Chain A
Amino acid sequence: MHTDPLSATFAALADPTRRAILARLSTGEATVTELSEPFNITPPAVTKHLKILQRAGLIVQGREKQWRPCRLQPQPLKEAADWVEPYRQLWEQRLDRLEDYLRELQIKRRRK
């Protein structure tokens, strides 16, 4: 479905449960059972979310152990943030400049 990696990352992040799973994994490895507990959803539902996260390259699931713990792969997250941040910043900067400009305009008006 997703042709470029950035869109796959955004698609994976569009869901609040998946964002919560990532936040949990940023504190350390966790198994599917451990991940399903705090979110009040069934292990199969967690597995579905994990597959989407895995396809986006955001997590890896260990093969060696029977319980296959999940681990965060931060690189795509960083790439997505690097892309999103400038867009938000663009508008914050525009509004900063607008604020200065409005001040300038009012000083000019008072002088008239």
Chain B
Amino acid sequence: MTRPQERLSKPFTITRVFDAPRDLVWQALTQLEHLGRWMSPAGMEPVPGSLDLRVGGVYHYGMKAPNGQIMWGKWTFREIVVPERLVVVINFSDAELGVTRHPMSPTWPLSTLSTTTLTDEGHGTRMSLQWQALDGNDEENVTFDGAHAGMTQGWGYTMDQLARYLARLQ
């Protein structure tokens, strides 16, 4: 759901098919006890957060690094269509739900709009995840597009070429 006067960058998409029914995938995506089981990266300990599943509600989550530092993030629910579509605004955050900048890139967009769509695929479920920079200024959109263009198509080719090039230099 795009709102008037909202600026969105080009989307970046990842798709995955799960061997599980759609209602179960939906639960895993929208319930706190389930989210804690898969959202934290390897080596990061999930920090108990909070979840208020309604439009305008927030999922607040933390990930604790081995050095004890906690990274916070939050999703603000914008659209909830059970069990097929979840639209959230993603922000880096602090422990008090304040919105923060990307820790590594000052020009990473402040807000990312994420749209998750679930569809039946045989006995399983196809999950399509799409991200767009939300209301980014030009510089932020360019950062996002550059990073994602790289992720989706550019890197594969360029990095292969680069690897060959570096091999020749050595």
Contact = CB atoms under 8 A, between A and B. Distances in A.
A35 to B, nearest CB: 15
Contact of A95 (B14, B105, B158, B161): B14
A23 B37 contact: no
Contact of B37 (A4, A97, A109): A97
B20 A10 contact: no
Given A4-B107, A7-B142, A105-B28, 17 more contacts: A2-B107, A7-B107, A10-B145, A10-B150, A11-B143, A14-B149, A23-B161, A26-B164, A72-B165, A74-B165, A84-B147, A84-B151, A87-B147, A90-B41, A102-B18, A102-B19, A105-B24
Contacts of A98: 18, 28, 38
A100 to B, nearest CB: 8
Given A1-B139, A6-B105, A102-B28, A13 B149 contact: yes
Given A91-B129, A94-B41, A81 B105 contact: no
B74 to A, nearest CB: 16
Contacts, number: 117
A53 B25 CA distance: 44
Interface string B146-160: 110111001101110
A23 B41 contact: no
B151 A9 contact: no
Question: What class of interface size applies to chain B in its complex with A?
Answer: 35 or more
Interface in A34-86: 72, 74, 77-78, 80-81, 83-85
A102 B20 contact: yes
Interface of A: 1-4, 6-7, 9-14, 16, 19, 22-23, 26-27, 72, 74, 77-78, 80-81, 83-85, 87-88, 90-95, 97-99, 101-103, 105-106, 109
A16 B148 CA distance: 12
A27 B161 contact: yes
Contacts of B158: 19, 22-23, 26, 77
